[in-house]
């Protein structure tokens, strides 16, 4: 593994980020997303909540995006909370990418005025549950029988991290 660089993501990164995300969606089982994204969709999502969102990516010294994490408000959360999502390139988990992303994301969340983070994870996503648990997130709610866009029914676990 090359050196991992952490930086803010921008519109010019959406093609690589979309490829990474779509590979995870295609594999299935770890994200609530069930349909592929286009770069324009990801770029539009990056513009939501201007001033209250952060997109952080990890790349190697060759410019390959290894993962990304984002935080943003969510309609089901109070004003002082942000929703967090993490995506690491298939085959690159376990190399410290998620840990490095989270350190930067915590800093950005505090700058944006958030006091806690919410991660909502499929209950059958063992790696996701383990990742957030290892960062210090604690379970606070379970949402049973959530139907995903493809019809799959899963429970979802909400985990909280106090900043």
pLDDT of residue 114: 98
Domains in the chain, number: 1
pLDDT of residue 30: 66
pLDDT of residue 29: 61
For residue 88, give its domain range.
5-162
Cα(69)–Cα(82) distance, rounded to whole angstroms? 12
pLDDT of residue 109: 97
pLDDT of residue 36: 75
DSSP SS3 for 117: strand
pLDDT of residue 24: 87
Phi, psi at 113, each rounded to 5°: 90, 10
Cβ contact 56:69 at 8 Å: yes
Cα(123)–Cα(22) distance, rounded to whole angstroms? 21
- Give the CATH number for residue 143: 3.40.630.30
Q: Where are the alpha helices (DSSP H) in the chain?
A: 14-27, 39-47, 97-111, 126-135
Q: What is the pLDDT along the chain (163 residues), one digit of tens a residue?
A: 578 999 999 989 999 999 999 998 887 666 666 677 777 888 888 887 778 999 999 999 999 999 999 999 999 999 999 999 999 998 888 889 999 999 999 999 999 999 999 999 989 888 899 999 999 999 999 999 988 877 889 899 999 999 9
pTM of the complete model: 0.90
Task: Give 80: exposed, middle or buried? Use CB within 10 Å, 0-12, 13-18, 19+.
Answer: exposed
């Amino acid at each position: 593994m090359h050196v991992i660089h952490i930086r803010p993501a921008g519109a010019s990164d959406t093609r690589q980020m979309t490829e990474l995300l779509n590979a995870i969606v295609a594999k299935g089982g770890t994200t609530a997303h069930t349909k592929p994204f286009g770069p324009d969709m990801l770029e539009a999502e990056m513009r939501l909540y201007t001033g209250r969102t952060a997109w952080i990516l990890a790349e190697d010294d060759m410019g390959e995006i290894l993962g990304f994490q984002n935080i943003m408000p969510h309609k089901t959360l109070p004003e002082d909370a942000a929703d967090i999502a993490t995506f690491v390139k298939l085959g690159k988990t376990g190399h410290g990418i998620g840990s490095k992303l989270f350190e930067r994301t915590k800093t950005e969340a505090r700058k944006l005025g958030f006091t806690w983070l919410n991660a909502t994870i499929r209950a059958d996503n063992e790696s996701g549950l383990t990742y957030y648990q290892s960062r210090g997130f604690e379970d606070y709610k379970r949402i049973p029988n959530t139907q995903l866009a493809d019809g799959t029914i899963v429970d979802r676990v909400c985990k909280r991290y106090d900043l």
